[in-house]
Structure 1
Amino acid sequence: MSNLFWLSAAQMRRIEPCFPVSHGVPRVDDRRVISGIIFVIRNGLRWRDAPKDYGPHKTIYNRFVRWSRLGVFNRIFAELAAKGGRSERLMIDATHLKAHRTAASLLKKGLFPRRIGRTKGGLNSKLHVVCDGQGRPLVMLLSEGQMSDYKGAALMFDAIPDAGTMLADKGYDADWFRTALKQRGIVPCIPSRSNRRMPVGYDPTVYRLRHKIENMFGRLKDWRPIHTRYDRCAHTFMSAICIAATVIFWL
């Protein structure tokens, strides 16, 4: 197939340090299997429909699940994003990801939570993201759909890198968030909620740049398994998001 996806040798050299050490029998070709994982996720295929060029589909699936449990794909994303350099402007926002009926179960089974919640729009998950001034994701968090924006910001706050300005919409208009940003030397550019008695000023010219994080969400959701969640396990779904973000923005 002429439209197959293959990681280049240079791309493999960038991500190989994050791979687990192989013990005993050598692993199947990493480039072939990882390229197959990316192809399946990017095109929203069933694992059994993976092209034969990538090898047995069970090998691709087993590698994806095993490395997801080890946090390998999350680590690849985090390390490449950390090498992106300091950005003077950050943006923070969140988006809902609809849970398909194959994944939409509120019953908690197993050690880890599913990260699926109930909102007026049905069962869904929520992706919280901090990105740089170019709209490239730096920090990501998966939560239940009903979690508020500023609660997600509180969970990610320690991981937010230093910057000059933070852009956010009205959902992040909280006094504690503004104060915490200022204590770190970050100027908040956040419009006030309509019910705030004393509106807080912001720079509308700078705020117009916030469309870049919305564009980032749109590019992530071009990958069908990201737009609609099919994975029952949160760790595999988050791994798929990290793979998409890495391939689109950091490789």
Structure 2
Amino acid sequence: MSDLMLLSRAQMARIEPFFPRSRGLRRVDDRRVVSGIVYVIRHGLQWKDAPAGYGPHKTLYNRFVRWSRLGVFERIFAGLAAEGAPPERLMIDATHLKAHRTAASLAKKGLPPRCIGRTRGGLNSKLHAVCDGQGRPVAMLLTEGQMSDHKGAALLLPVLPPARELLGDRGYDSNRFRAALAQRGIAPCIPSTRSRKVPIPHDTTLYRQRHRVENMFARLKDWRRIHTRYDRCAHTFFSAICIAAAIIFWLPQ
């Protein structure tokens, strides 16, 4: 047990308020089970291959699926991200996450949607994210792989925290998006598309900071079950992303 990777007691103290209340029988040790879930997602294991020290793999899987359906992990991420002061600077971008054949084998009929689409890169999902000036995600959205960056940004716009400026690549250059940012008092730092007859100037020095959102995606993809999607249901896959984002960026050791 001493050789297992376990979340620290300080980390558990910050996320325990988001756990659902235990009803009936006393719940299996939260620290051990949540640490086991994190271990499986980070290393890209099948649930049956989780180290025995974390307990029965069925317990890990059942807890992960049940809490995913309840939105527990999404609330953990959103709650931790909202604890700090409003960021002065935001950065927006999107990345593709390859869907393994096991994730793409679910029937397409019915709801909820799987958030798996087809692009020239094959079957994949797309993660749209907004991070603060330090490269920490503050809002995320999972969609089908073929959804445009601009449409994803429009869906994220209502949940953007107040900020002074927003950095984005030229995929976010549109009059509608710029006007929406202006209504919220956010100055866009977005290069103009080549199709614009009159380019809109932007701060090139400030724009160099946009690499931090790319670094954020790279750190998320270090977790194997984020880099490649094995989960059929969108809510379980997005829960895995929320766990990774919370552990990496909002729960320092």
| 4+ residue runs over 6 A deviation | none
In 2, Cα distance between equivalents of 1:46 and 1:157? 36
Task: In structure 2, give the amino acid aligned to 1:80.
Answer: L
Unaligned runs of 5+ in 1: none
Give the 3-state SS of the residue equivalent to 2:130 in structure 1. strand
TM-score by length of 1: 0.97
Q: Deviations over 1:163-200 (max 9, x none)?
A: 00100001000101101111111100000001111100
Larger mean CA deviation between 99-108 and 5-14 belongs to 99-108
Q: Quote the residue 2:226 is aligned against.
A: 226
Please name the residue that 1:163 is paired with.
Answer: 163
Q: 1:66, 1:60 → 2: CA distance?
A: 10
**Structure-2 separation of matches of 1:79 and 1:104:** 31
Q: Quick check: 1:53 aligned with 2:34?
A: no
- Letter matched to residue 66 of structure 2: R
Which sections of structure 2, spanning at least 5 residues, go unmatched?
none
Equivalent-residue separation in structure 2 for 1:107 and 1:151 (angstroms): 26
Question: Whole-Å Cα distance in 2 between the matches of residues 36 and 107 of structure 1?
Answer: 29
Instruction: Give 2:88's aligned amino acid.
Output: E
Shift of 1:107: 3.6
Residue 115 of structure 2 aligns to a residue in which SS? coil
1:137 maps to what in 2? 137
Deviations 1:74-104 (A, max 9, x none): 0000000001221111000000001111112
The 8 Å contact of residues 69 and 235 in structure 1, kept in 2 or not, is answered as yes
Root-mean-square deviation over aligned CA pairs: 1.2
How far 1:2 moved relative to its partner?
6.4
Q: For each residue in 1:131-185, what CA deviation from the matched residue of structure 2 results, as whole angstroms up to 9, or x when unmatched? A: 0000000000000000000100111101000100100001000101101111111
Q: Distance in 2 between matches of 1:161 and 1:105?
A: 37
Per-residue deviation, 1:3? 5.5
Please list the CA deviations of residues 87-131 of structure 1 after superposition, one character each: whole Å capped at 9, or x if unmatched.
111000000001111112474245310000011111110000000
Q: How does 1:15-34 map to 2 (within 5 A)?
A: 15-34=15-34
Partners of 1:3 and 1:146 lie apart in 2 by 43
Whole-Å Cα distance in 1 between the matches of residues 85 and 119 of structure 2? Answer: 37
Render the CA deviation track for 1:22-72: whole Å, top value 9, x for unaligned. Answer: 111110010010000001111111111111111111001100000000000
Identity of aligned residues (%): 73
**CA distance in 1: counterparts of 2:48 and 2:27, whole angstroms:** 21
Code of the residue aligned with 1:149 in structure 2: it is D
Deviates more, 1:80-89 or 1:126-135: 80-89
Q: Which aligned pairs between 1:78-93 and structure 2 lie closer than 5 A?
A: 78-93=78-93
